[in-house]
Structure 1
Amino acid sequence: MSTSIPRDGENTLNEPCRILVAEDETLIRMDLVEMLTVAGYSVVAEAKNGEEAISLAREHKPDLAILDVKMPILDGISAAQEIISIAPVLMLTAFSQKELVDRARDAGVMAYVVKPFSINDLVPAMEIAMSRHKQMVSLADEVAELHERLEVRKLIDRAKGILMAALNLSEPEAFSWIQKAAMDRRLSMKEIALAVISPTDAPER
Structure 2
Amino acid sequence: MRVLVVDDEPIIRMDLVEILLDKNCTVVAEASDGKTAVNLARSIIPDVVLMDIKMPGDIDGMQAAKILIEEEICPVVLLTAYHHAELIEASTAIGVFGYLVKPIKEDELYPALRVAVSKWEGMQKLKEENVDLKNKLEKRKIIEKAKGVLMDKYDMKEKDAYRKIQKMSMEKRTDMIEIAKSIILSSELISL
TM-score using structure 1 length: 0.83
Determine helix, strand or coil for the equivalent of 2:78.
strand
Determine helix, strand or coil for the equivalent of 1:87.
coil
Q: Percent identity?
A: 43
The aligned counterpart of 2:64 is: 79
The aligned counterpart of 1:14 is: none
Determine helix, strand or coil for the equivalent of 1:67.
strand
Q: CA RMSD in A?
A: 1.5
User: How far apart in 2 are the matches of 1:167 and 1:190?
Assistant: 20
Determine helix, strand or coil for the equivalent of 2:28.
strand
Query: Which amino acid counterpart does residue 106 of structure 1 have in structure 2?
Result: A
Q: Report whether the alignment pairs 1:123 with 2:110.
A: yes
Residue among 125, 128, 144 paired with 1:141: 128
Determine helix, strand or coil for the equivalent of 1:44.
strand
Determine helix, strand or coil for the equivalent of 1:71.
coil
TM-score using structure 2 length: 0.88
Residue among 141, 148, 153 paired with 1:166: 153
The aligned counterpart of 2:190 is: none
- After TM superposition, where is structure 1 displaced by more than 3 Å over at least 4 residues in a row? none
* Structure 2 unaligned blocks of 5 or more: 187-192
Matches within 5 A, 1:92-131: 92-131=79-118
The aligned counterpart of 1:57 is: 41
1:113-157 CA deviation, whole Å, 9 max, x = no partner? Answer: 100012212111111111111221122222222222221111111
Provide closer, same or farther for how the CA distance between residues 177 and 80 of structure 1 changes in structure 2, counting only shifts above 3 A: same
1:7-54 CA deviation, whole Å, 9 max, x = no partner? Answer: xxxxxxxxxx11111111122112211221122110011111111111
Determine which structure has greater relative contact order: mean sequence separation of CA pairs < 8 Å that are 6+ residues apart, divided by chain length.
2
User: How far apart in 1 are the matches of 2:117 and 2:144?
Assistant: 41
In the comparison of the two structures, how many residue pairs are matched? 183
The aligned counterpart of 2:21 is: 37
* Structure 1 unaligned blocks of 5 or more: 1-16, 200-205
Provide closer, same or farther for how the CA distance between residues 160 and 41 of structure 1 changes in structure 2, counting only shifts above 3 A: same
User: How far apart in 2 are the matches of 1:125 and 1:171?
Assistant: 54
